[in-house]
Amino acid sequence: MPENTLTPDEVNAIVRDMDDPRYPSKITVFCDHCGATNTSEYMVSSEMTSKERLAVARKHLVEHGGWEHTDDGDDFCPEHAGSGA
């Protein structure tokens, strides 16, 4: 067993310890019904894909903003949440 070989996961863990990789980024979620948008800053990581970043914004808006995110992938503003696709 090599003792001086780090796996990618171990390297990532070290990088995270040295410097928090998260930074604020503006993300816009729009209503698939009326086109209303909500743009806010969210803490994201440079390792996150755009899809993962959008998921952070969606989760926040669903939990705190009254938005709805359906299983079909649609987003609805507070005015249209619960109205169905």
- As a whole number of angstroms, the distance between CA 62 and CA 14 comes to 33
Q: Is 31 in the site for Zn ion (CB under 5 A)?
A: yes
Q: Using an 8 Å Cβ cutoff, are 41 and 25 in contact?
A: yes
Minimum CB distance to Zn ion, residue 40 (Å): 17
Q: Is 77 in the site for Zn ion (CB under 5 A)?
A: yes
Q: Is 22 in the site for Zn ion (CB under 5 A)?
A: no
Minimum CB distance to Zn ion, residue 29 (Å): 11
Q: Which span sits near Zn ion by CB under 5 A: 10-18, 38-46, 61-69, 70-78? A: 70-78
Within 8 A by CB and 6+ apart from 65, the residues are 38, 78
For 41, how many CA atoms within 13 A lie in the half-sphere containing its CB?
4
Using CB under 5 A, list all residues that contact Zn ion: 31, 33-34, 36, 77, 79-80
